[in-house]
Chain A
C-alpha cells in the first residue's frame, strides 16, 4: 500500500482526508462528549442530508449546500432550545428525520436519473476529490481558529453555564459557536464516514482519550492522534480487503474502544491480585519468622 500511495492520486487524497477529518473530530468530539451533545450532533448531521438533496436539486456542489443547511439548522436548534420549553430529546427527534425527509423530497424533485446517495450516507474515503479536500481544510482551519481564540469562553460554557452567566460571560455566543462548530465538523466528516456513521468518529477518540488523560486540551490532542490512527488503519483495511471505508473505520473504532476497556479492566484486576498476593506473601513470611 505504501508504494501505491505515491502512484495513485486517490490514495493520497484519501490519506489527506483521513488526517483532516481526525483533526475536526479530535477538536469537537471532546466538546460534544463533555457537554452531552452526542445525540444533538447526530441530529445536526442528519439535517445535512437535506442540504445534500438541495445541492442535487439546484445542481450545485452538495458539500456547500450541506454546509449551509447544517449551519442554519444547528443555529436554529440552539435558538429554539433557548426560547422554548421543548425537551431537547423531542426536538432532536423532530429535526433529525425532518432533515432526512427534506433531502428525500429534493432528490425526488431532481430531474433525470436519481443519484446514488450512499457516498454521503455511508462515506467513501477512496473517492474524496481535491476540491473536497480544500473544503475540509478550510473548515478545519475555522475549527482550529474558533477553539483557540475562544478557548476560555468555551471552557466556561462547557463546565458551568450558570456560573458563567452570573459572571456576565456571553453564553449565547459560546453556545452558538459550539453548535456552529458541530455543523462544520459534520461537513468535514461527510465524505469520509458519511452522515449515518459520523457519531462513532465523534465519540470513540475522545472516549478513548478520556481513559488516559483528564484535562481538556490533552484530551483534544490525544483524540486527534487516536482519530488519525483509526482513520488510517480503517483506510488500510478498506483498501486491502475492498471494504466500505466508513464501515471499516466505524467497526475498527468501536472494536478498539471495547478491547481497550477490556485490557484496562484486566490490568486493574491483575494489579489488585498482585498486591493481594504480595500482601499475603509478606504476611506468611512474617508468620514464619
Chain B
C-alpha cells in the first residue's frame, strides 16, 4: 500500500484549517484595513521560515451550542521561524475565527509557544487581535489569561518579549502586552483598554470613541503603554525587525555586533548645542553626532518627550542612550519621564547593553499636580534603576546638572563607571538665579537697587559654581572634555568596561518603587 492516500488526507485537512474563519470573515478583516494573522506572521518572519504547530487543535467547550462549532486552530496561530536568520517564537491571534476570542485551547497554544521560547532562549513575538475572553468557556478562559501573564513574568528579563497590537486587545487581555518589553501599535488598527466605550457610557455617562479612549496615538502619547507607533502594519513590521537588530536573543548573550561606522559628517556636535543653558536644542542630534552611522533608534518617541531613550551603536556594539531633551519642557524630570527612563535602564541592564547618559536638565518639574501624582516615588525609580544596573554606565554632562536630577541621572554617586563633562557643564544644587535668591536674600533685600544687586549676585554665583570644575576638583567628574572628544571618550570607556564585574549583595529581589 502506498502512503499517498494518507498524505492526501493530511493535505486536505491542512487546507481546511488554513482557511481560518473562512472567506467571508477574511473579507471583513481586509475591509477593516487589516492583514490576516497568517499574512502578518509571514511578513514579519524570513521568507518561507515559518513552521506552524497545533494546527489541528480543537476546543472542548460543550455549552451554549459551542459543541457544534468547529473553530480552526481555535483562533490562534503559533509557530517558530527566523528573522535575519535567527530563530524566534511567534503567535498571532486570528480575528477571523470567533473574533480571535481566547478560550482554553487557544490559551494553551499560546502558553506552549511561550514555554518553548523561554526554554530555547529565543525572543517571543505576540500578535494580539482578539475580542477578548471567549465568554462561552467561562472561567477556563480566565485561567488561560492567567497562565499567559504568569509566563510573561517568568520570561521577563530572560528573553525579549514583543507585543504587537493589531486589532482590539481589551479587558484583562491588555495585561499580557503590559508585562512584555515592547508594545507596538498601528494607527486606526490598535485598540487597547480595560473597559470599553460602551461600558463607560452606561456606567458613567461619558461618551468617547474607541480611538479616543485607547487608540494607537493615545497609547503612544498619553498613557505610555506603547513603545512604537506606526502608520501601517508594514511600517510596524519594519520597526520590529529593526529593534531585533539591537537586542540580544537572551540575557546570557550580547547583542550582535555590526561593522563599526563613523557618524555622518552633517552632525557637527559643537554647532548643535548653544552655550547659553536656557536655549533649547534637539538632544537627538547630539546622539546622532556620537552614534555609529548617526543611526539612533528611538523608543517611546511621543511619550514624555522631555527625556529621550533608544538604541544606537558605538564601534558596532549596541548602546542604550538615556538623554534629557532641552527642547521639551527644558528637559525636566517628572513622573512620566522617570517611568520611561527607569524601565529602559532596567531593560538595558537585563540584556547586557551598556548605558550612555547625556545630561542637560534643570531639575524636577515644579507643580502641585506633579507632587500629588507622586513625583517622589516615580522619580525614585530612576535612582533605583541606575543604582541597580551593573552594565557599563557612562555619563556625559553637557550643560545643566542641577540638584536631585544631577544625582539621579547616573551620577558618580549612583556608581557611574565614567563621568565626563563638557566645559559648558554646570553642576550645582540649583540654577544660578534660584541659588542667588536664597544665598544672598538679605543682601538683595537691603540693597538700594535690589534688581541690580540680584543680577550681580547671580553673576557671582555663576562664576563660582556654574561650571564643571568644582565637581571635577572632588573627583565626581573624571575629566572635562571638549565636545569633539565625546565619541572617542565613549568608545574608549565602553571598550575598557567590556569585562566589567560588579557584584551586589545577594537577595531574592529588591523592592523598587513600582
Decide if A and B are genuine partners: no
